[in-house]
């Protein structure tokens, strides 16, 4: 399987799906909420299902030998048409940040992850409102930052030469913490360390809380994210790209993530993802106490 060609196809799909999602955002209809969790995990819209269905149709029509495991699998009409014994599997979060999207906030993503058995071999995180995608493919010298608008001119999607090498930007000092399952004492130490944003409560006290989501380290909006029970298909994939861009990734004890697929339910129990070693060590020290 040619990963470069596959990712270029995904990028073209992201351009179309992202343009659609932006166009209908102000009037998108809500679907019945999913059970359990919090407002972020329960939210569901027509756009989630339509984007997922669009990717299913695109991938099936291209005949890729892959399995397909989207976030809204319970609503899929097409999963059964993908080969169940394929060596490759694609994960899709069709609208990452559905709650923010449904509330009209211009900050959501489309997250695509390609696995070969138990290894990530490609990741694409597309931010439609920002007109940008962050891409890593096995075999590239490093991740790329790509202007999606250039794709309309036939530019920037011809990996491995397209786009610019991804550089993790140093401007932000924010540490985004999903504090719902963080020890209160550790959270107090994190707050004492500097600009810590608590993200589990929505709406929260920070009016731009929405900037501190899955892609925040990639986009330069945060210096680090701290996330218990981080899903592979969004936080895990973004962390994989950050790691290849020279950032630091570990569990809450500071141990490396040996394999992003080694965890039950494709969730990393505790994920710390930072743009550099100095930030990372401060966070681990606060978590350890």
Domain boundaries along the sequence of the chain: 3-165, 175-288
Mean pLDDT of 141-149: 85
- pLDDT for res 263: 86
Is the pLDDT reported for residue 175 higher than 90?
A: yes
pLDDT digits (tens, 9 = 90+) for 28-55: 999 998 887 777 888 999 999 999 999 9
pLDDT digits (tens, 9 = 90+) for 63-81: 999 999 999 999 999 999 9
Kindly state the helix (H) or strand (E) to which residue 235 belongs, with its residue range.
none
Architecture of domain 175-288: 3-Layer(aba) Sandwich (3.40)
Alpha helices in 32-89 (DSSP H): 39-42, 46-62
Pairwise CA distance, residues 26 & 103, whole Å: 8
- pLDDT for res 265: 86
Is the pLDDT reported for residue 152 higher than 70?
A: no
Greater model confidence, 202 or 75: 75
CA dihedral 138, 139, 141, 142 (to 10 degrees): -10
pLDDT-based confidence at residue 149 (cuts at 50, 70, 90): low
Mean pLDDT of 164-172: 90
- Residue 73: DSSP 8-state: G
**3-state SS track over 145-210:** EEEHHHHHHCCCCCCCCCCEECCCCCCCCCEEECHHHCCHHHHHHHHHHCCEEECCCCCCCCCCHH
Is the pLDDT reported for residue 153 higher than 70?
A: no
Mean pLDDT of 106-115: 97
- pLDDT for res 161: 65
Joined together, the tokens standing for residue 66 give 């892959």
- pLDDT for res 160: 64
- pLDDT for res 157: 55
CATH class of the region 3-165: alpha beta
pLDDT digits (tens, 9 = 90+) for 213-244: 899 999 999 999 999 999 999 999 999 999 99
- pLDDT for res 200: 82
Mean pLDDT of 247-275: 92
Greater model confidence, 218 or 266: 218
User: How high is the mean pLDDT of the chain?
Assistant: 91
């Amino acid at each position: 399987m040619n990963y470069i060609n596959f990712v270029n196809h995904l990028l073209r799909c992201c351009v179309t799906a992202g343009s659609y999602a932006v166009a209908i955002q102000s009037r998108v209809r809500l679907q019945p909420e999913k059970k359990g969790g919090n407002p972020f995990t329960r939210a569901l819209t027509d756009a989630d299902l339509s984007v997922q269905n669009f990717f299913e149709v695109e991938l099936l029509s291209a005949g890729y030998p892959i399995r397909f495991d989207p976030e809204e699998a319970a609503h899929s009409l097409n999963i059964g048409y993908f080969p169940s014994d394929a060596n490759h599997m694609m994960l899709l979060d069709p609208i990452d940040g559905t709650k923010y999207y449904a509330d009209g906030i211009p900050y959501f993503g489309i997250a695509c992850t390609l696995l070969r058995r138990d290894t990530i071999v490609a990741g694409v995180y597309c931010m439609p409102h920002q007109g940008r995608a962050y891409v890593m493919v096995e075999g590239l010298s490093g991740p790329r930052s790509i202007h999606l608008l250039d794709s309309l001119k036939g530019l920037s999607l011809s990996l491995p030469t397209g786009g610019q090498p991804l550089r993790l930007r140093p401007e932000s000092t924010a540490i985004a913490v999903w504090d719902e399952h963080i020890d209160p004492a550790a959270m107090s130490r994190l707050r004492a360390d500097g600009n810590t944003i608590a993200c589990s409560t929505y709406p929260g006290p920070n009016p731009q809380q929405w900037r501190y989501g899955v892609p925040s380290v990639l986009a330069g909006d945060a210096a680090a994210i701290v996330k218990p029970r981080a899903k592979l298909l969004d936080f895990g994939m973004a962390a994989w790209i950050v790691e290849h861009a020279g950032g630091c990734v570990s569990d809450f004890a500071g141990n490396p993530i040996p394999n992003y697929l080694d965890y039950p339910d494709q969730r990393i129990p505790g994920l710390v993802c930072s743009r550099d070693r100095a930030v990372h060590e401060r966070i681990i020290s606060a978590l350890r106490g």
